[in-house]
Amino acid sequence: MNRRPRAAAARISDDQRRARLARRHLLDPAHRAGSTEEVADALVGLHATDAATVYLSACARLAEPSAGDVDRALYEDVSLVKLLSMRRTLFAVTTDLAPYVSSSTARAIALRERATLLKHLRENTEGHAPWDEQRLARTEREVLDALAARGEATTAELSKDVPALRETLLMSPGKPYEARQSVGSRVLRMLAADGHLRRARPRGSWTSSLYPWAPVPQIPEMDVREAKAELARRWLAAYGPATEADLKWWTGWTLGDTRRAVADVGAGEVELARGETGYVLAGDDLDDDPASALAPWAALLPGLDPTAMGWRGRDWYLSPDHVPALYDRAGNVGPTVWWNGRIIGGWAQRANGEIVWRLLADAGAEAGAAIAAEAERLSAWLGPVRVTPRFRTPLERELGVG
């Protein structure tokens, strides 16, 4: 539960928060970035569960949008790495931030993932030798040896070298949702969660999910408390002012860990528009983003974009009435249309490449012209590429028909 702010706490309006969002999330055209790494650091990390999100989120904020620059960061310079981390979600973060994300969040998730995998291997493997920790460890060593010899390889290619990967798991036997899963896909994802592997350049376009695996140097371990404090500091710099509940939700930490991290960075209290207590970093100039100094702006952001998914409390930038159209039942946001710091609609790409949108609130002629310009900008750099979000939402599905 949020504590009541002290009487001396400054009050931050929704307009001020939206102005800070525009600049700090690089959505104001005057503040767009020069590189994918700059975008990732500004947002702390880019959602990467859907391969296309990294590209669309980065290019929405690049002064010169280029899928090639995202490719460079991910696969040539390897200055962005993907970690299963906050909220058990895949994020692409810079190599500078990776040790903090790994130690604060990803390693604990990997331990839980390993326990779950072993349970499934023991209980659900079909017609093969029993699995235990020793067999899993042996199989993982064989995978790493095979990958070292190959340089990079898909799960199917590695399965030729390591027969155990060809086994299957029967999940939820006898249930209507019974399904078979590949042992190989689960073991490779486990090795990636442990920081031994990375996803290499996809076989096909950047929207493809057919990617090979490549070995990666181990990420250095850090003191967990220090790592949590640094992650909280960077998040507050990008997303503050925000509540304890926002940070707890975004990280997936316990309330105790969240409060300790906020205290460790010396965050100060402010009062938000709805009377909630928000937190900002010490020395954060609360007047550095006056809304009156910001030119009108529009943005078309993809499904799972970090800004739309950045806070648990979203009423200051999203009308609750619009949630059913823009989010799926699991809480995943679809493609959104923004105007001056608010989500006012959604968009989709049709099979012929056309970018279409619908506004859920009347924003006027100026907004319409700005949104059309952003749609043209998006269409220009996408070219022949067609993007379908991994998680379909009602409005996106409806708009995409045609």
User: What is the share, in percent, of the chain residues with pLDDT greater than 90?
Assistant: 86
pLDDT tens track for 94-127: 999 999 999 999 999 999 999 999 999 998 877 6
Backbone angles phi, psi at 358, to 5 degrees: -140, 135
At residue 173 the predicted structure's pLDDT band, cuts being 50, 70 and 90, is confident
Q: What is the per-residue pLDDT for 200?
A: 95
Task: Give yes or no for a contact between 16 and 282, defined as CB atoms under 8 angstroms apart.
Answer: no
Q: Which helix (H) or strand (E) holds 160?
A: helix 155-161
At residue 250 the predicted structure's pLDDT band, cuts being 50, 70 and 90, is very high
The CA-based angle 79-84-90, given to 5 degrees, is 75
Nearest to 363 by CA among 293, 303, 298: 298
Cis peptide before 394 (omega within 30 of 0): no
Q: How far apart are CA 38 and CA 64, in angstroms?
A: 13
Residue by residue, DSSP assigns 337-373 as EEETTEEEEEEEE-TTS-EEEEESS---HHHHHHHHH
Nearest to 123 by CA among 172, 166, 186, 193: 172
pLDDT tens track for 356-398: 999 999 999 999 999 999 999 999 999 999 999 999 999 999 9
Backbone angles phi, psi at 176, to 5 degrees: -60, -25
Name the residue ranges covered by the structural domains of the chain: 117-197+207-215
Q: What is the per-residue pLDDT for 2?
A: 55
At residue 3 the predicted structure's pLDDT band, cuts being 50, 70 and 90, is low
Nearest to 2 by CA among 264, 269, 289: 269
At residue 6 the predicted structure's pLDDT band, cuts being 50, 70 and 90, is very low
- Model pTM greater than 0.85? yes
Q: What is the per-residue pLDDT for 392?
A: 96
Rg (CA), the chain: 22
Task: Give yes or no for a contact between 60 and 335, defined as CB atoms under 8 angstroms apart.
Answer: no
Q: What is the per-residue pLDDT for 402?
A: 65
How does DSSP classify residue 62?
B
The amino acid occupying position 122 is R
pLDDT tens track for 179-201: 888 999 999 999 999 999 999 99
Looking at every residue in the chain, the average pLDDT score rounds to 94
Average pLDDT over residues 157-163: 96
Nearest to 378 by CA among 395, 401, 355: 355
Nearest to 235 by CA among 278, 192, 293, 176: 278
How does DSSP classify residue 102?
I
Average pLDDT over residues 160-176: 89
Q: What is the per-residue pLDDT for 146?
A: 97
3-state secondary structure of 75: helix
Residue showing tokens 């096909």: 204
pLDDT tens track for 270-316: 999 999 999 999 988 776 666 667 899 999 999 999 999 999 999 99
Q: What is the per-residue pLDDT for 174?
A: 78
Task: Give yes or no for a contact between 361 and 374, defined as CB atoms under 8 angstroms apart.
Answer: no
Nearest to 300 by CA among 239, 361, 206, 379: 379
Q: How far apart are CA 182 and CA 401, in angstroms?
A: 33
Quick check: 349 pLDDT over 50? Answer: yes
**Check whether domain 117-197+207-215 has CATH 1.25.40, yes or no:** no
Average pLDDT over residues 62-70: 97
pLDDT tens track for 227-238: 999 999 999 999
Lowest average pLDDT, out of 162-166, 170-174, 337-341, goes to 170-174
The CA-based angle 203-392-336, given to 5 degrees, is 100
Q: How far apart are CA 222 and CA 287, in angstroms?
A: 35
Sign (positive or negative) of CA dihedral 394, 395, 397, 402: positive
